[in-house]
Amino acid sequence: MKIGTDIIQINRIERSLEKFGDKFKMKFLNSDEILEKNSKGAPSFSLREEAQKIHQIKDASLSISHDAGFAIAVVVINQ
């Protein structure tokens, strides 16, 4: 099992979106991710089949939370 985390100030993302707009989104997201909206706002991601085979990934999950101006993401990968 592998775990990864990332934390960021929400206003940093807001400022970047205001300043760079779609260019900012395109730097970090592919076109499908930009268009995708889950009805409950639940985060999700997918890995290419090739990446799953190379890294022997059986399953992966993502959790995102936010509070007091910060957002954190945690990914768990089962091998």
The pTM of the whole model exceeds 0.85: no
Q: Which of 66, 73, 68, 8 is nearest to 44 (CA)?
A: 73
Residue 63 or 38, more confident: 63
Q: What is the pLDDT confidence band of residue 41, given thresholds at 50, 70 and 90?
A: low
At 38 the pLDDT is 66
Residue 8 to residues 1, 11, 22, 64, 68, Cα–Cα distance (Å): 24, 9, 19, 11, 11
Model confidence pLDDT, tens digit, residues 1-28? 999 999 999 999 999 999 999 899 899 8
Mean pLDDT of the chain: 90
Which superfamily, per CATH, for 2-78?
4'-phosphopantetheinyl transferase domain (3.90.470.20)
